Amino acid sequence: MWVIEDIRWTATVLLALTGLLVVALGGPVWAPAVQDDWLGAMMQAVLVEQANEGPFWGTFAPYVAQLEIVRGHLLNEDTAAVYLAMNRLMDMLEGRENGIPEEIADRLFDYCYVVTPATYHDVSRHIDKFIEHQHGESIG
């Protein structure tokens, strides 16, 4: 019987401590705005490709680093710098920098168009690529 009482007492104390922590830490908690979820999605896509790269680990490290640069500018609310940094990422993908396979680079490039708000990158790059792919000719 005393074991049950000890368990109840311990549970009560733990519940009270948890309640105190919730109240103490219940101030404003930073959560990314919905519009910033695009960067998390883009980072996740790159990390998935990195996890699948097998024996050539490190190929995607510059892409992860570039997205971290984007994150820093986004946190500073520097739209112009985010735009430049995202377009640098696009340059990296188009140039297959660090030896990433063409198929993966194209997939990430296209995914960027889907998730990234137009404010943060040159949308015309994606449109030109789409037209070139559809018609076999370059626009400009």
Mean pLDDT of the chain: 78
Average pLDDT over residues 44-61: 84
Closest to 75 (Cα-Cα) out of 85, 61, 60: 85
Q: How confident is the model at residue 33 (pLDDT cuts 50, 70, 90)?
A: very low
Residue 21 has pLDDT above 50, yes or no: no
Has residue 139 got a pLDDT over 90? no
Whether the pLDDT of residue 36 is over 90: the answer is no
Q: How far is CA 69 from CA 32, 43, 66, 104, 134, in A?
A: 17, 12, 5, 21, 33
What pLDDT is attached to residue 5?
A: 62
Mean of pLDDT values over 35-41: 83
Q: What is the pLDDT of residue 123?
A: 84
On the question of pLDDT at 26 being above 60, the answer is: no
Q: Cβ–Cβ contacts within 10 Å for residue 33, how many?
A: 7
pLDDT bracket for residue 38 (50, 70, 90): very high
Reported confidence tier of residue 132, pLDDT bands at 50, 70, 90: low
pLDDT digits (tens, 9 = 90+) for 58-111: 789 999 999 999 999 999 999 999 999 999 999 999 999 999 999 999 999 999
For residues 99-135, b (16+ Cβ closer than 10 Å) or e, as one string? ebeeebbbebbebbbeebeeebbeeebbeebeeeeee
